[in-house]
Amino acid sequence: MSPQNPVPARRKQAIQKALLKWYQANHRSLPWREDPQPYHVWVAEIMAQQTRLDTVGPYYKAFLKRFPDPVCLAEAPLEAVLAAWSGLGYYRRARHLHQAAQVVVSQHDGRLPSDPQLLQQLPGIGRYTAGAIASVAYGVPAPILDGNVLRLLSRLFDLDTNASTAAGKHQLWSLAEALVPTDSASNFNQAMMEMGALVCTPRSPKCLDCPAKRLCHARRAGSVDERPVLPAPKRAKAQSVLAVRLRRKSNEALLMLRHPAMGLFAHMWSVPTWPPPWQMDGKAGPLPTNRQLQQKLGELLGTSLTLGPILKRLEHQLTHRRLIVTVREGVMESDAVKPEGYTAIRFVGKNDKLEQLGISTLTRRILK
């Protein structure tokens, strides 16, 4: 393979034919494939980042019902968008989606551009997402490279270059660009993603069922399990956290706090924690003593309080951090709360609807 011609014409045509034929007969029925409007594809692609598709489906349908087009999304308060995203995780995606919708309305008359370069200028849209929107929604022959496609190409071409390096990424993008056909980019790019998800899986790939098995260099070389070449995953830092279901003395309502615009759980609502999210440093050491915690939380919230017994200990995995959470109850001596660092407070009773708040999966677990 030369840099100018990374895939010989006959091999390219054979791969295209094999994948397109397989996709036509075996692709999954997904809601955004039923009506691949640009906005629908965009929302689906953002939701599917680092999230299983079977998890995405219900959120996708509910999100489109609430925000059916970019104009509705742009005009909605950020809190409403985060509430609709609540439980899906990786909330920066929702904030970027909201920001990008405002740009689409103000600069593109409410319609997503079809040019991948213009798409990449929108918040939260990188080269892969731009290529997916352009190819799936508009039929533009733009390359894509997500984790599934990276694995498929690494095996088809038996690539021994580390896929996380600049050289490895360049090689993979060149192959993806060379393979995408001009007349069926939508189906072909979806076929590569689908193949990686269903057949060319990370572990125990179904090589005997692969429509491109005779074209796979890694299968011929016996190196399927060694591709792609990737560095060992970094161990997530652990963080010890106290989360307090803090109640009013007067009516048992729980105190909820809205986080600042930057940092962990930005703009989201949660129960009080120590340390607060902006002070979490990735240290898994023991929490301070009960007296120290009462003092520190009291100073943070601007009120005196009494901590009750431990309700539960749980672990919660974030992208680069593992939270070891001790959940306790507590009672405020006064309702006059003046928290430092948080942007708003709210007292939530038993009959209040939490779905109206943007709360994380972790907070959902704590409130249960």
Distance CA 69, CA 107 (A): 15
Specify whether 45 is catalytic: yes
Whose CA is closest to 7, among 171, 165, 163?
171
| Sign for the pseudo-dihedral over CA of 220, 222, 227, 229 | negative
pLDDT by residue, tens only, the chain of 368 residues? 445 568 999 999 999 999 999 999 999 999 999 889 999 999 999 999 989 999 999 999 999 999 999 999 999 999 999 999 998 988 999 999 999 999 999 999 999 999 999 999 999 999 999 999 999 999 999 999 999 999 999 999 999 999 999 999 999 999 999 999 999 999 999 999 999 999 999 999 999 999 999 999 999 999 999 999 999 888 878 899 999 999 988 788 999 999 998 888 889 999 999 999 888 877 777 889 999 999 999 999 999 899 999 999 999 988 778 899 999 999 998 777 888 899 999 999 877 777 778 898 899 899 88
- Taking phi over 0 as left and psi of -120 to 50 as alpha, with beta for the rest, 131 belongs to alpha
Q: Are 312 and 229 in contact (CB under 8 A)?
A: no
Six-digit token pair at 322?
């593992």
Q: Is residue 302 a contact partner of residue 339, using CB atoms and an 8 Å limit? A: yes
Domains of the chain in sequence order: 9-226 (1.10.340.30), 237-367 (3.90.79.10)
Is residue 241 within a helix (H) or strand (E), and if so which, with residue range?
strand 237-247
* Of 34, 45, 194, 355, catalytic: 45
355's tokens = 């779905």
